[in-house]
Structure formats: structure tokens, C-alpha cells
């Protein structure tokens, strides 16, 4: 009897571990138009990849750099001090990517559908 209770409990716990935690996960944009949307989507797609969160976040940020360059707030600042503006937004993108990869792993977030 005790053994069957333990097996049932273990099965329930294991099943719960593979489900998305909706308190943590958010649905990413289907077709991103801004850097933060790209980061959200790509982080969820790449979160299961082998490697550290930092390494995966770097990959996500690199993949979304084109969105950073096309962002209107970046474009408006490029006339003033292009190096500092790009550095700021690239760092922000990397920080967002780190947060989203961590979130995706912690919440076992489902990958977005294509």
C-alpha cells in the first residue's frame, strides 16, 4: 500500500515538472517587429539548448541585433553618439535575453508555434 502511494505521488510530481508554469511564462509575439519581441520569442525557442544561460542569451541577442538597429529609439540616438547608443541597446538586449532564457527554463515554457 505504501509503495503504491509513493509511486502515485512520484508520477504526479514528474508530470507536473514537464508542464508549463503559466505564472512565469508569457506568450511571445508570432511575428516580432521589435527587439524585445524577437528576444522573447527566440529565448523561448532556444532555452532548451545545451549550454549556460549566459551563452544562450548571447546567441539570442546576436540573432535579434537587426531589430535593435531598426528600432526608432536607437535611430534617433545614433545622430548624437552612435557608439554609446548602440552599446546601451545591445547591452539591454543581452540583459533581456538572459532574463527570458532564465524565465523559459524556470517555467518550462512552451516553444512558440511558427
Evaluate whether residue 72 is within a structural domain: yes
24: in domain: yes
Q: Which pLDDT value is given to residue 36?
A: 93
The pLDDT, as a whole number, for residue 13 is 43
Assigned domain for 114 exists: no
Q: Is residue 71 part of a domain?
A: yes
Gap between the Cα atoms of 80 and 19, Å rounded: 47
Using an 8 Å Cβ cutoff, are 97 and 61 in contact? yes
Gap between the Cα atoms of 32 and 39, Å rounded: 9
Q: Which pLDDT does position 3 carry in this prediction?
A: 63
The answer to whether residue 85 is domain-embedded is yes
User: Could you tell me if residue 113 is inside a domain?
Assistant: no
Those residues with Cβ within 8 angstroms of residue 28's Cβ, 6 or more apart along the chain or in another chain:
37, 40, 41, 44, 112
As for how many domains the chain has, the answer is 1
pLDDT along the chain (114 residues), means of 10: 52 58 93 93 96 97 89 70 82 96 96 84
So what's the pLDDT on residue 64? Answer: 94
In a domain, 112, yes or no: no
How high is the pLDDT of residue 15?
46
Whole-number Å distance between alpha carbons of 101 and 66: 19
Through-space distance between the first and last CA atoms of the chain, rounded to whole angstroms: 47
Residue in the block written with cell 520569442: 41
Give the structural domain span for 7.
2-106
Task: Tell me whether residue 102 is in a domain.
Answer: yes
State how far the Cα of 63 lies from the Cα of 4, in Å rounded to an integer.
49
Is the whole model's pTM more than 0.85, yes or no? no
Amino acid at each position: 500500500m505504501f509503495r503504491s502511494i509513493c509511486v502515485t505521488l512520484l508520477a504526479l510530481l514528474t508530470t507536473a515538472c514537464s508542464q508549463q508554469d503559466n505564472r512565469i511564462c508569457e506568450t511571445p509575439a508570432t511575428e516580432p517587429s521589435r527587439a524585445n519581441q524577437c528576444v522573447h520569442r527566440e529565448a523561448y525557442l532556444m532555452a532548451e539548448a545545451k549550454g549556460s544561460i549566459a551563452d544562450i542569451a548571447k546567441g539570442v541577442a546576436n540573432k535579434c541585433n537587426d531589430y535593435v538597429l531598426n528600432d526608432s529609439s536607437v535611430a534617433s540616438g545614433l545622430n548624437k553618439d552612435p557608439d554609446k547608443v548602440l552599446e546601451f541597446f545591445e547591452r539591454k538586449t543581452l540583459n533581456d535575453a538572459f532574463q527570458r532564457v532564465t524565465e523559459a527554463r524556470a517555467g518550462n515554457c512552451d516553444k512558440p508555434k511558427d
